[in-house]
Amino acid sequence: MEDIGKSTARDTEDSKTSRRLLYFCPASLGGIAEYAHAQATALAQQGIDVTMLCRVDWPYAPPTAYRQLRELNSSSSAAAESRWRSRLRTAKGLLVEHAKLASVIRAYSFRRVLLATYLEYLAPFWAPSLRSLMRRGVVFGAILHDPVRDYVVGPLWWHRWSVAEGYSFLREVFIHAETDLGLAPDKMPFRKTVIPHGPYDLGDPIRSRRAVRDGLSLPNDAVVLLSFGHIRDGKNLDILLRAMVGLPDIFLVIAGAEATAGQKTSAFYRSLAEELGVGSRCRWLVRYIETEMVADLFDCVDFVALTYSSQFRSASGVLNLAVRYRRPMIVSSGDSPLSQAIDQYDLGIRVQPDDAKEVARGLSSVLRSNLECDWDGYMHDHSWRTNADRVATNMDLRA
């Protein structure tokens, strides 16, 4: 990373004229990594000198529009790892990664640091070193993908302390819709700014719709739903399977990797699908879906299922794939940027969360409806260029 050091030597003490940004992303797979890559690319395209501090298995090979500093260990875990061993490994990883972040900031004299996601877990242990850097003039910002931090780990007092510590060194917090964070004014030392979540463009399909369906043994005239991304409890896949029971014309493709330890596995859902009598209408692609296959999958289906629980109050990366490939959605969630987007741009059918009858009603409506979605309106209002412009302005990255 000799070029980073040389760039550092040329920096002036006036941080307001600096266009150097350290982007910290300790995820290598899933929505956070995809978002970080797209955002870092957009920032670099605006002339920002972006360095991505990421894992050794960062999936986006050079050359990229931004520099890569692959100094975080791989997040792979043992196949038969117990829940407690997984938690210990995760805790150790958090502490090591944030120590590395602080050391890189000091080593290369970065004055602007953007975190790919806000995090509070174990923050009382790792936040003080970043708070010390903040006091020395380093400006920190974070993307708040999950604005309501109500998942409590440990005692409530520890959770509240951790949340406060996670925010304590931030000057800028970026969210995707105006949201009440549930914090007292004295616990919000930061500026909160709404930025759009841009659509993901992974290119055009490589194979024809018919060829992809044939490969998945899907009838060409079937109505096909897609459940995309990590298989985790909050997506209510069990409720979606129950909703399919009385709708024999609907097939479902489940495409994504297993979630972390402690979540129901794909084996549980496969067994449930067989018990419910819908197993023959399910297709399972339980793995990380390669970039070149994503467009094929979205092109071959008719609708996308985003049947989240009422606890989901975030934006959705899957929505921003569905928009690119113009696939209407059936959606359930709490009040969130996801639900707001569905309502504002008529991007599909919205149903009450956590209710199989509601999902079945929505699926029946999808079968009967001729949806007119405002794809162009959403694409116009949600661009990575606008996202990057607001981040660059607030982070004082303008020359």
What is the pLDDT at residue 5?
A: 52
Does residue 237 share a domain with residue 306?
A: yes
Same domain, 17 and 28: yes
Position 81 scores a pLDDT of 63
85 in a structural domain: yes
Mean pLDDT on 299-309: 96
pLDDT at 395: 96
- 190/214 same-domain check: no
What pTM, to 2 d.p., does this model score? 0.84
* Same structural domain, 179 and 276: no
**Is residue 5 situated within a structural domain?**
no
Task: Kindly state whether residues 219 and 271 are assigned to the same domain.
Answer: yes
Between helix 2-10 and helix 83-108 the angle, nearest 10°, is: 50
The tally of domains found in the chain comes to: 2
* Same structural domain, 366 and 389: no
In a domain? residue 204: no
The residue range of the domain holding 355 is: 209-381
Three-state secondary-structure class, residue 180? coil
Instruction: Say which range, 173-177, 206-210, 260-264, 392-396, has the weakest mean pLDDT.
Output: 260-264
Reported as a single tens digit per residue, the pLDDT across 83-95 is: 677 778 888 999 9
Q: Is residue 6 part of a domain?
A: no
* Cβ 118 vs Cβ 143: under 8 Å: yes
Residue 4 lies in a domain: no
**Residues 169 and 241 grouped into a single domain:** no
**CATH for 245:** 3.40.50.2000
For residues 152 and 221, membership in a common domain is answered with: no
Q: How far apart are CA 298 and CA 296, in angstroms?
A: 6
- Asked if 92 and 224 sit in the same domain, the reply is no
In a domain, 365, yes or no: yes
What local confidence, expressed as pLDDT, does residue 252 receive? Answer: 98
Query: Once rounded to an integer, what is the mean pLDDT over residues 29-46?
Result: 93
Phi then psi for residue 270, to 5 deg, are -60, -45
Q: What confidence score (pLDDT) does residue 80 get?
A: 56
Share of the chain above pLDDT 90, in %: 71
187 found inside a domain:
yes
Q: Residue 273: which residues within 8 A CB-CB, separation 6 or more?
A: 241, 279, 282
Mean pLDDT for 340-345 is 93
Same domain, 156 and 213: no
31 part of a folded domain: yes
Tens-place pLDDT, residues 106-134: 999 999 999 999 999 999 999 999 999 99
Same structural domain for residues 232 and 344?
A: yes
pLDDT confidence bin for 82, thresholds 50/70/90: low
Residue 273's region, left for phi above 0, alpha for psi from -120 to 50, else beta, is: alpha
316 and 189 in one domain? no
